[in-house]
Amino acid sequence: MTMVSNHPDATMAPTRFPLVDDDAAHHRFRVHRDTMTSPEIFREEAERIFSHSWLYVGHASEVAAPGDYVRRPVGGRPVFMVRGAKSGNVHVFHNTCTHRGAVVCRHKSGNAKVFQCFYHAWTFDSDGRLTGVPDRDAYGAKLDFSQLGLRPVARMENYRGFVFASFDENVTDLVTYLAGAREYLDLVIDSGDGEMEIVKGTNEYCIGANWKLLAENSIDGYHAISTHDTYFKYLVALGTNLKGGVQGTARDLGNGHAVLEYAAPWGRPIAKWEPLFGKYGPERASRMADVNRNLLIYPNLVVNDIMAITVRTFMPSAPDRMDVTAWEMAPRDELPALRQRRLDSFLTFLGPAGFATPDDLEALESCQQGFSSGGVEWNDISRGMDRVPQANDEAQMRTFWRQWQRQMGDAAYKEVR
């Protein structure tokens, strides 16, 4: 068998090997490129990862008033988030009529007293109760209509405005799941004195690349200088002093979450005076004001608090394609001059028409094309394995991949045939 004799461990002849090769003894961490290209892996991820994790739905500020709603694809499924007019609570419902299936929330966003299915006109209130059925007399007296309200997702939790859903009713509670990432969400939220909002206007773009490439890219300090030369030139043209560069560290936050914390030459639109310093003390306040954070909440939420704050989620539609949705987060009631600065910072770096993000798309699609060339089986993610992780190392990506491997279980292996 030539396959066996080609293998370096021919005498051992393993029949399967892990797709994530974590070899600390040799300072080597490798990820097999099948993870990025295999249709089978893509199908397994839908079940093992996206059906059993906490997934970001939206921010409570997007449904501030009773009856406000937004429609969202979450984990590839159409759901909608709505603030109940009677209860005042935020709900996340499967967007399907309990009668025969049509979607009941047909606008992208808005405000509604009721959601009426246009097909047979069953009507639900904003808390999900079935309140109207035409020709109710045609149904038998014993049919329990109270069981036919809109179906909420299996689990929904709201962490200080960040609304998450899970399709697994047995998933651990959100705060436990967030682990060390909670501290970083708090830093972002507290920097706006607890009152953050999503700015109007959504970036909905797509990338012809595997979704995990964007998880890596969103927390990749190593590529900044080489890929984003034109952005740094733009900063220089604005009068920015690039001296000092990008300096910082990476942290494993548990459960696959990771963060980069670093100083960078760009400005941050945060007022460095009261009330931040008075309320949180100089140490925590300067951490909020001066330090950049690239936070990955496993599997597919990125909160980058850099020259502006982006909340970004992404979902694969094929092994080599993902849909990206990104919002800008800002303190509510921000001073107009600061808001303008923040908007400028966002669209020039983070936006899909800016001076940087299009080049990230090019890099990710270029990787995906490179994979199809074959010949090279593994990606190398070993940078910084033998030192305290720096912001431009790859420890944070290893954190992601180790969790991916755990969650994928026996699907994270390649058979040797």
Partner 1 sequence: MISAAHTAAAAETMPAGEPDGGSCATSLHLGSVTRAQIEDFLYREARLLDDWDLDTWLTLWAEEGTRYVVPCNDDPDGDPARDLVLIDDDQLRMRLRVERLNSRKAHREYPHSRTNHQVSNVVVGTAEGSGADTELPVTAAFTVWRFRNGKASYYVGRYHYRFIAVGGELRIRSKRSVLDMTELRPAGDLAIIL
Where does this chain bind partner 1 (CB under 8 A)? 108, 199-208, 227, 229-230, 233-234, 237, 323, 327-328, 336, 339-340, 343-344, 346-348, 351-353, 355, 357-359, 361-363
Query: Quick one: residue 256, left, alpha or beta (phi over 0 = left, psi -120 to 50 = alpha)?
Result: left
Half-sphere exposure of 169 (CA within 13 A, CB side): 3
Q: Which residue has the tokens 């808001």?
A: 339
Q: How far is the CB of 133 from partner 1 (least distance, A)?
A: 32
Q: Tell me the C-alpha distance between 375 and 343, whole Å.
A: 44
C-beta of 126 vs 348, nearer to partner 1: 348
Strand arrangement of the beta sheet that strand 123-125 belongs to = 114-116, 123-125, 130-132
Give the helix/strand (H/E) hosting 313: strand 309-318
Q: How far is the CB of 299 from partner 1 (least distance, A)?
A: 21
Which residue type, as a one-letter code, is found at position 11? T
C-beta of 21 vs 365, nearer to partner 1: 365
C-beta of 156 vs 322, nearer to partner 1: 322
Q: Tell me the C-alpha distance between 380 and 26, whole Å.
A: 13
> Which two tokens mark 343?
């908007």
DSSP secondary structure letter of residue 25:
G
Q: How far is the CB of 312 from partner 1 (least distance, A)?
A: 13
**Three-class secondary structure of residue 402 per DSSP:** helix
Q: How far is the CB of 362 from partner 1 (least distance, A)?
A: 4
Q: Helix 357-372 vs helix 211-218: angle between axes, to the nearest 10 degrees? A: 130
C-beta of 183 vs 229, nearer to partner 1: 229
C-beta of 205 vs 378, nearer to partner 1: 205
* Beta strand pairing call for 378-380 and 109-111: unpaired
Query: Based on the number of CB atoms within 10 Å of its own CB, is 401 exposed (0-12), middle (13-18) or buried (19 or more)?
Result: buried
C-beta of 183 vs 362, nearer to partner 1: 362
